[in-house]
Amino acid sequence: MDLVAGAVGSIIRKLGELLQAEYKLQAGLLEQIESLKNELESAHAALRTVSEVPPEQLDPQVRLWAREVREASYDMEDILDTFLVDGAPADGLGKGRRLLKKMEKLFRKSKERHAIAGAIQKMKGRLQEVADRRDRYAVPVAAPAPVRTLDPRLVYMHREAAQLVGIDKTKAELMAMLLPLSSSRCPEDDVDVSASDGDKMKIVSVVGAGGLGKTTLAKAVYDELKPRYDHGAFVSVGRKPDLVQVFTSIFFHLDEQKYNAIREVKDLQLLAGELRRFLQDKRYLIVIDDVWDTKSWDTIKLAFDQKNKQSRVITTTRNRQVASSEEVYELHPLSHDSSKKLFYMRLFWGEDKCPANHPEEASQRILDKCGGVPLAIITMASLLVGKSREYWLEVCNSPGFYRGKDTNEQVDDTVWILSLSYYDLPSYLKTCLLYLSVYPEDYEIEKHRLIWKWVAEGFIEKNAGSSSLFEQGEEYFHELINRSMIEAMEFDEGFGIIIGCRVHDMVLDLIRDISNKENFVTVSYDDGRRGTTSSSSRNVVRRLAHQNRRMTEDNPVEGSMTHLRSLVACGCDMDGWVMHSSSTLLLRVLALEQCCTPPSMDIGHLGKLLHLRYLGLRGTLVDKLPDEIGSLKLLQALDLLGTGISRLPRTVCLLTQLKYLYGDACTIVPNGFLGKVTSLEELHIHPPSEGDEYNQQQFMQDLGTHQGEIRVLDLMRFRDEFDDLSMESGLVQALGSLHKLQTLLVSSDYTKQQVAQYSWDTAALPRCLRILVFVDLRFHHVPSSINPASLPNLSRLELSVGHLDEASLRALGGLPGLTYLTLTAADWLKSSCKASVVDVVVADGFFLKLRSLRLYGWMLQLVPSEDSTSVSFNIWKGDEDVVALGFCRTSVAAPMTSSIIMPDLIDLWFYVPVRALCKSRNGSICDSLGWECLPSLHKIDAVVDSKGAYIGDVKKVEAEMRQAAKLHPNQPIINILLLNQYI
């Protein structure tokens, strides 16, 4: 009942395209198409009404009718696509005059006219049969609750609330179990974590029902304790785990660069043995999250040396048997007070009581229903945001509203709340959410790839206010986060830059169950015992997901594949697998993600998938793309990251509908590509190198002239093989034409430390720019083009500079939307740094929204004035040349109030040159750090450079920084990393 947008709505749009065609149809065919379209529009409206009613409130005949209408619509669309697939226009369907001319040519042929006339008649008869059946068993449809507008929220607010409410006590208790009594006092104590009360490694299992926050607790403890250990890893297992992938993930967390090639190893015993050897005699903290069965845990545990008393392991599980041989920390529901605090924080931005216009009694009943389960509380609060008091009372009086008394009933209550929230979603959101069932449990779902799949499936309907289908899909994505149906995955946790999502396993269970009943997605997997199973036993498979299995011809999925629209394989072994083009002619989405492929796998048949809109090979090694890919005239998204493909065939220039291209770090496009494929919105590519057929100057000229739709531009390994100005100057000039650009990423070859030679001060950076990142491209100073007036929307900035002066620091501090800033000291400019001390009063505030500040090679000091009326903001470098000059620094003074300097800063990373610091200060440095001026500070990373310093000075600086962190009201976590050798 919930899949209208991808079925009935899509066929209506295509019938509308037929009606707009200016050619002679067979007698009576125009009227038949019009009649069919009108009938479907009526059914469409009825289906929208049905989709907003929970299934238990619907008569079985209504559910049957809705399913038949939807299935008939899918079949109708397949018929139309089959007719239109041959000779589709270069621009794809829906491109005005070219489409009409294509259809006109098609309908001039007598045979095709008769065939499509018969098909339309068949469609109409199929729909009439469904309508007649419903009329014979007419049942009134219950009226749904009125649709209400969402109250906009920060996408990360509910995640923060879940971490802040009720976690301090449980975190302290779990840490006390992990650490000996002598070391559990505070993080800054210099203690030996190997001291233990027992004779073997400490393993603690966090046990509790679903939705209690086991993962959140384990992550909070991991983040706080990780600085004490040399190595750390946090990995999820899940119900049907691929243990090879689990071990591979542990290796990547421990040392990704060293173990990059280990992804090709599929021998479980070999991986376990290698991991055991690596961990031997090392101090590590590892979290094994979401373990469901004892067999998986016993296999994983073999890699840990039980005699390694200096290391710690945390597991989380719902299954007490998993924890039977370990120490157990039982996680209980939140107290009533903590539940209420969390509930109101999500609803009313931190208010501690229910507003007068909402019934207090309903609030109490709803909290009782939630049973202290954080997932239930957050989901229910997200459901009620912005709703009237009448709706609150309606929820309390709805069927199934009861109070759970034990763990099982609490889980049932949480499932009921999740279901209630699901059926409150608009139909288009339901469709997008159900699509997430194609991914395995605990999968990290990248936002952009997901949205382009939605677009390819036809789930996104463009609104007047959206400039593109992707941006409309991004609104859908954020709505699902605000509704707490998916969990935001951030670029760097806590800073609001959303790069993807995860699905809680209870939500995944819900959408898989619904998807199965609606025949929306078929999931196949290998469980190692029963072979391949399928979540759907129906004859027609429309969307197929392979998860962590070996795909061969001898274990096919049950059901007909001739109507397959989407095939997504995650973490599968493709050896022996063959895609039969005859059964996948209507395929729109093909995604092979992190799959293992044989060197000889032939993908030349891709050219026959003429309806393909999305082709993803992320993390799947492929030698090259076939020339036949040029036949995919409707292709919108092509993802090749991690494939190893170095050059694209010339035929990609025929993909004129392509909007998203993500190449590998070495992928180069053919000559003239940017001049011919002009619909790109996202481009991640290696620019041409010197000597390539695509002239560098022409590449940049094409970028500026023909790519006005680009929103994301990622130039990888920029200027890695030459030193002239052509590419850099060409890019600066091209930026003036990219008016829709929101993200610019420019990365050079880190081994050559390229210097920016062209003046970026003149760059006309687009006002809509949100993310600006330069990696290993070094500037003498902050370009004057980076300023508050020019970039009012900039939220993330990463820059390498050799000099910071008053103007540049004021410009950075005044950027109104900046939340994430990384500044790297350009060491190649040591000798050009000049002494500078400047005092500037900043009346309007300084870095007011900044949440993360990372200063690589720069020292930061906040020095309050003697009368505490202002604070001096100092950033300086402490190398030998600067010491001789008496420090090169910039100081900005501002009134000392909680709202002036970095009031939202959570994370601080900075450099400490001990020798220079001790020369500048005769006494304690504790009073010169100024962390008390940062009210939101929760995490500190200090890179202590001990080069040329005495060991006593190094230890003194360390101790005083730990003491300063301890004295801060938030007692932030502090991680100290030593560089070089002291005297």
Q: Contact 733/765 with Cβ under 8 angstroms?
A: no
Across the beta sheet with 284-291, what order do the strands follow? 231-238, 284-291, 312-317, 202-207, 327-330
Any idea what DSSP says for residue 747?
A: E
Range of the domain at 973: 821-886+896-982
Q: Contact 412/382 with Cβ under 8 angstroms?
A: no
Of 169, 176, 279, 297, the residue nearest 229 (C-alpha): 279
pLDDT reported for residue 886? 40
- Point out the domain boundary residue: 818, 848, 873: 818
- As beta bridge partners, residue 291 has 238, 317
pLDDT reported for residue 277? 85
For residues 868 and 971, membership in a common domain is answered with: yes
- 754/751 Cα distance (integer angstroms): 9
Of 862, 840, 981, 949, the residue nearest 910 (C-alpha): 862
For residues 86 and 211, membership in a common domain is answered with: no
For residues 628 and 737, membership in a common domain is answered with: no
Count how many residues are written for the chain. Answer: 983
For residue 256, the domain's CATH number is 3.40.50.300
- 217/178 Cα distance (integer angstroms): 13
Residues 6 or more apart from 452 whose CB is under 8 A from it? Answer: 470, 473, 614, 636, 637, 659, 660
pLDDT reported for residue 880? 47
Q: How many domains does the chain have?
A: 6
Could you give the C-alpha distances from 436 to 429, 504, 549, in angstroms and in order? 11, 11, 18
For residues 662 and 790, membership in a common domain is answered with: no
For residues 825 and 810, membership in a common domain is answered with: no
For residue 467, the domain's CATH number is 1.10.10.10
For residue 806, the domain's CATH number is 3.80.10
Of 557, 484, 543, 558, the residue nearest 512 (C-alpha): 543
- 866/137 Cα distance (integer angstroms): 84
Query: Within 10 Å of residue 114's Cβ, how many Cβ atoms?
Result: 12
For residue 174, tell me if it sits in a domain: yes
For residues 937 and 836, membership in a common domain is answered with: yes
Task: Give backbone dihedrals phi and psi of 172, rounded to 5 degrees, phi first.
Answer: -65, -40
For residues 833 and 976, membership in a common domain is answered with: yes
- Point out the domain boundary residue: 773, 802, 818: 818
Of 895, 902, 899, 900, the residue nearest 937 (C-alpha): 902
For residue 144, tell me if it sits in a domain: no
Q: Contact 63/1 with Cβ under 8 angstroms?
A: yes
For residues 790 and 828, membership in a common domain is answered with: no
3-state secondary structure of 585: coil
- Point out the domain boundary residue: 818, 841, 872: 818
pLDDT reported for residue 983? 59
Q: Contact 319/293 with Cβ under 8 angstroms?
A: yes
- 732/458 Cα distance (integer angstroms): 36
87 conformational bin, left if phi > 0, alpha if psi -120 to 50, beta if neither? left
For residues 834 and 978, membership in a common domain is answered with: yes
Task: Tell me whether residue 542 is exposed, middle or buried, using C-beta atoms within 10 angstroms of its C-beta: 0 to 12, 13 to 18, 19 or more.
Answer: buried
One DSSP character per residue, 694-719 reads S-HHHHHHHHHHH-TT-SEEEETTTT
3-state secondary structure of 498: strand
- 671/657 Cα distance (integer angstroms): 18
- 489/501 Cα distance (integer angstroms): 5
Q: How far is CA 285 from the centre of its chain?
A: 25
Angle separating helix axes 447-457 and 469-482, nearest 10 degrees: 120
- 473/461 Cα distance (integer angstroms): 8
For residue 418, tell me if it sits in a domain: no
- Per DSSP bridges, beta strands 312-317 and 973-979 are unpaired
Any idea what DSSP says for residue 972?
A: -
- 550/573 Cα distance (integer angstroms): 5
Q: Contact 808/858 with Cβ under 8 angstroms?
A: no
- 674/593 Cα distance (integer angstroms): 27
Q: Calculate ∠ Cα 925-927-930, nearest 5°.
A: 110
Q: Contact 912/925 with Cβ under 8 angstroms?
A: no
Of 315, 314, 250, the residue nearest 279 (C-alpha): 250
- 652/663 Cα distance (integer angstroms): 13
For residue 938, tell me if it sits in a domain: yes
Token pair of 528 as six digits:
């190692």
Of 901, 964, 966, 890, the residue nearest 936 (C-alpha): 901
Residues 6 or more apart from 233 whose CB is under 8 A from it? Answer: 249, 250, 253, 254, 284, 286, 287
Of 292, 169, 288, 159, the residue nearest 216 (C-alpha): 159
Query: Within 10 Å of residue 213's Cβ, how many Cβ atoms?
Result: 25
- As beta bridge partners, residue 965 has none
The end-to-end CA distance of the chain, in Å, is 73
For residue 150, tell me if it sits in a domain: no
pLDDT reported for residue 185? 38
Could you give the C-alpha distances from 710 to 34, 457, 714, 808, 884, in angstroms and in order? 38, 22, 11, 28, 48
- 510/802 Cα distance (integer angstroms): 54
Exposure string of 952-970, with b = 16+ CB inside 10 Å and e = fewer, is: ebbebbbebbbebbeebee
Task: Give backbone dihedrals phi and psi of 107, rounded to 5 degrees, phi first.
Answer: -80, -5
pLDDT reported for residue 143? 43
pTM assigned to the model: 0.83
For residue 382, tell me if it sits in a domain: no
Of 196, 190, 295, 206, the residue nearest 243 (C-alpha): 295
For residue 115, the domain's CATH number is 1.20.5
Q: What does the radius of gyration of the chain's CA atoms come to, in whole angstroms?
A: 30
Residues 6 or more apart from 321 whose CB is under 8 A from it? Answer: 294
pLDDT reported for residue 183? 45
pLDDT reported for residue 449? 96
For residues 464 and 598, membership in a common domain is answered with: no
For residues 494 and 610, membership in a common domain is answered with: no
- As beta bridge partners, residue 524 has 534, 546
- 861/221 Cα distance (integer angstroms): 29
State the maximum Cα–Cα separation within the chain, in Å, rounded to a whole number.
98
Could you give the C-alpha distances from 378 to 161, 212, 393, 484, 732, in angstroms and in order? 9, 11, 18, 7, 46
3-state secondary structure of 829: helix
Angle separating helix axes 374-384 and 407-424, nearest 10 degrees: 30
For residues 730 and 861, membership in a common domain is answered with: no
For residue 94, tell me if it sits in a domain: yes
For residue 352, tell me if it sits in a domain: no
- 180/172 Cα distance (integer angstroms): 13
Per-10-residue mean pLDDT, the chain, length 983: 52 63 53 67 66 62 69 72 52 42 48 60 65 54 39 44 67 87 43 54 90 89 85 87 84 71 74 85 89 89 83 91 85 88 78 64 88 91 85 83 58 88 89 94 92 94 77 91 88 70 93 89 62 49 86 62 87 74 80 81 81 92 89 95 90 96 90 94 88 82 92 81 67 92 85 69 92 88 93 93 85 92 73 50 75 90 73 72 45 64 90 80 64 88 87 88 89 85 62
